[in-house]
Amino acid sequence: MDKKTRLSTLWIFLTLNFIFCDVFSLHYQKDLQNLLNGKVGDTPITQPFLLLFSIIMEIPMLMILLSRLLKYRANRTLNLIVAMLLLILQLSTLFWGENTLHYKFFSLIEILTCMAIIGLSCQWRDEVAKPLEFTPII
């Protein structure tokens, strides 16, 4: 499997983990009650909050496509930057408020996936085509 496909697959995996963590949170009574009261933890759910959350969630979904479409240099650089930012964001959420066991579990998977994207991107070297070799016919 080439690097672009591997990276795109890791972004798909990361996105699904983000989504399912949020879905599972709806099954936890305290989190569901907070949502029904218009809060995520102690943070009120407002239009700007939802827009920011939407942008954050759009980033890994966009990386699914960009990992397949961008050329080497931009692809490698963007994968490194975005994975590092999401890694920092995910690590920081572990210290905000109380976290459920399922949230900690998904966070661990998300952190490891970001680290895998960073590692794969760091190891990625441009496969420069070898020059054509001409063999004399004589």
| Number of domains, the chain | 1
Is 128 part of a structural domain of the chain?
no
What type of residue is 101?
L
What is the dihedral sign for C-alpha 65, 52, 25, 111?
A: positive
pTM: 0.84
Whether residue 14 lies inside any domain: the answer is yes
Assigned token pair, 92:
């920081």
Provide the percentage of residues in the chain whose pLDDT is more than 90: 75
Structure confidence by residue, pLDDT tens digits, 41-89:
788 999 999 999 999 999 999 999 999 999 999 999 999 999 999 999 9
- Domain containing residue 69: 3-123
Helix (H, G, I), strand (E, B) or coil at 99: coil
Structure tokens at 53: 């959350």
